[in-house]
Amino acid sequence: AACEVPTRTPRLVHDGDQKSFGLSASEVGGGMGGAFASSTATASTAVTIPLDDTVPQSGEGIEYIAAVIPVHSPSSWITARFTSWGAGNTLMAITVALFRNDEASTIQARPVTIGGNTYMHLLALEKHFQANTAGNMNMKIRFGPNGSTCWILQNPSAGLFSTSASSILTLTEIAP
């Protein structure tokens, strides 16, 4: 089914680092909306997300960024996208993992191999899934190394581009 792009400007609501946008169902023939969070904060952790055959859990790695999307229908489709920059102090993998609400297991995880000390790499994750519920859905990104220490928006010795570099979590709903 085709999705017609609306010609009206979506409403943007800003509340600190949490932003949301949307059009009503009558404006797009179904309904769509979303939310996003951005951060220029650097973060580091040695709390691992094992690089093995198990699903990452909510106690692994550390939470870095979160956003809440108001879901209009259980049959809506949600797309979650996260991008940032990461580094490690040795050859390692950094895993970014997407969690929904208070669920213990991730719904999407992606490891990125880091070449070694001071090498910055793009950390990116995307997940498209059916909502299966209506109401507010809290989406969180956790990250962690498979060993040693890793960083977001900095390398072991300095930040990345001061506040002009940022991490972004974008959530989009397409309602039926």
Instruction: Identify which of 44, 42, 22, 43 has the alpha carbon closest to the alpha carbon of residue 33.
Output: 22
User: Rg of the chain's alpha carbons, rounded to an integer?
Assistant: 17
**CB atoms near residue 173 (< 10 Å):** 22
pTM of the predicted protein model = 0.81
The span from the first CA to the last CA of the chain, in angstroms, equals 10
Cβ atoms 98, 139 nearer than 8 A: yes
pLDDT digits (tens, 9 = 90+) for 95-142: 999 999 999 999 999 999 988 776 789 999 999 999 999 999 999 999
pLDDT given at position 162: 66
Name which of 108, 89, 127, 103 is nearest 49 in CA terms: 108
| DSSP letter (8 states) at residue 26 | H
